[in-house]
Structure 1
């Protein structure tokens, strides 16, 4: 019997809630941008960004084969098949593996096919700038290689907030690059960061975000509440009086405005740890139900209890 080996995972592994059943293989560690003022996810790493060696990825794929039962091989010790046991979806871990060069991503896809020929799609996180750095031909090639269902942390469509938080792109860039994804046949989901516009600006930020989203085609918009940690650059901006945090009720009013203004058919979800109340529905069909739930959170839970959750959230 082959000796089991440890997977090449570095630090905390982050993935979207909807990738829970995916096989997770680390492709990068850290973030190519690493300048967003609110982010503390990769602060413990001793480097900014590091691609995983292809030999490590191959070793992890080989190890992962031992986790999955081949349904064509019926033995006494494998009389049943676990959910997702054929690894039809592989998620490449890292802040933005799509920032890797297209030829390198195609090599990773070739390894995936070699070890998991039944894999139907490969997902990962992507920055807007990662899409911009690739040609239309490269995007089409990556789509053909299996890349699909990528997650983009757009955060907001609020130009002022994007600039202040040093995201490295503007609202129009979101719409432009997503149109290129659409043309290439690569589907995508958005992460929206509730509260990023700051105190008193949440409703305007929600409207600006809805305006951008209504010009794109995400299959899902996942909202996450901004949680500010002392080690972040944003905390230093607050200390200097250059930025003020929205209240928890303001954040929920912001979510209500976004849900009300979205005109595209899309799933809307609040499923991450930063959200004190989980929420998931389909727009436009379940809009009124979502709005009613948000109203109930504001009126029945209220600022004090919502804030208590926020300050006691030790880690995302």
Structure 2
């Protein structure tokens, strides 16, 4: 199998067949991100010959795979024709597959028409995961995400019109010290206008190879305390009105919160309130500074 660098996938794609179709990120400019720094290039599409070889190899060991997850930071950036070609290759080796997922950037949707998205949905593309991080425009701009909150809403409406479901990654702590709850409320306003199936939250962990670390050293940004991050997470959950699965499954999270919204909303909020009331900042911080890798 051909895999370049560390392979990342959402926790909920644990049982999907992972096939590399791209490596790296087309944007590769978010100040906090260090996920693809082990690659000697910014982004590349895998040669179709490699994808074919990997599908053939996998089919010898795993049969009747219902879902395939294309790896890379944002394979959804590929043209509609290329994504269609990849789906046809999957069909050749897994004729009974049900769906294809991948990571995507909100800007990847902008380059596709609703009709093109419908074509992709017909081929099984569904459950696309977007690392939107936040609905806080100030944080989006500072972190150089490359889009604004309005773009999240606009492009997700296109996905919905095409019948493609999607999931969100939220980054607790991205708004910085003193602004966590402001960012959480702004994010809830955005998410409540969309229909993500899953909202998976991770807590910001800053590594000294990131651009954000340099901004901190210059005095341009300050990290939230761990207790602030818990309060931010609570604020986000209590302001969401959307129906979705909510989870904090990644290693960067100090605690695990899982439930269905809005059914479990009050229970999750009360759980976080109890944690915040008894939290020890020093103990929580020890976990963060000893987290060597995400």
Normalising by structure 2, we get a TM-score of 0.99
Give the structure 2 partner of residue 238 of structure 1: 216
- How far does the alpha carbon of each residue in 1:33-53 deviate from its partner, in whole angstroms, 9 at most, with x for none? 000000000011110001011
Give the equivalent residue in structure 2 for 1:50: 44
How many pairs were matched up? 294
- Report the equivalent of 2:281: 303
Residue 56 of structure 2 corresponds to residue 62 of structure 1: yes
* Structure 2 stretches lacking a partner, 5+ long: none
**Is residue 37 from structure 1 mapped to residue 15 from structure 2 by the alignment?**
no
Matched residues in 2 for 1:213 and 1:58: separation?
37
Q: Deviations over 1:3-22 (max 9, x none)?
A: xxxx0011110000000000
- 1:300 Cα offset (Å): 3.4
Q: How does 1:196-207 map to 2 (within 5 A)?
A: 196-207=174-185
Q: Is the 8 A contact 2:227 2:279 kept in 1?
A: no
The structural deviation recorded for 1:236 is 0.2
Specify the alignment match of 1:148 in structure 2. 126
Quote the Cα distance in structure 2 between the aligned partners of 1:265 and 1:302.
32
SS at match of 1:91: strand
Q: Deviations over 1:209-251 (max 9, x none)?
A: 0000000000011100000000000000000000000000000
Counterpart check, 1:161 vs 2:155 = no
The 5 A counterparts of 1:231-310 are 231-310=209-288
Q: Secondary structure at the match of 1:109?
A: helix
Q: Map residues 69-108 of structure 1 onto 2, 5 A cutoff.
A: 69=63, 86-108=64-86
Aligned CA RMSD, in angstroms, stands at: 0.8
1:226 to 200, 204, 219: 204
- Cα distance, 1:208 vs. partner? 0.4
| Structure 2 CA distance for aligned equivalents of residues 222 and 302 of structure 1 | 24
How many Å separate the matches in 2 of 1:141 and 1:220?
23
Structure 2 match to 1:82: none
2:6 paired residue number: 12
- 1:171-212, CA deviations, whole angstroms, 9 ceiling, x for partnerless residues? 000000000000000000000000000000001100000000
Q: Matched residue of 2:122: which SS?
A: helix
1:124-143 alignment runs, 5 A limit = 124-143=102-121
> Where has structure 1 moved over 3 Å in runs of 4 or more?
none
Give the greater-gyration-radius structure (CA). 1
DSSP-derived class of the 2:169 partner:
strand
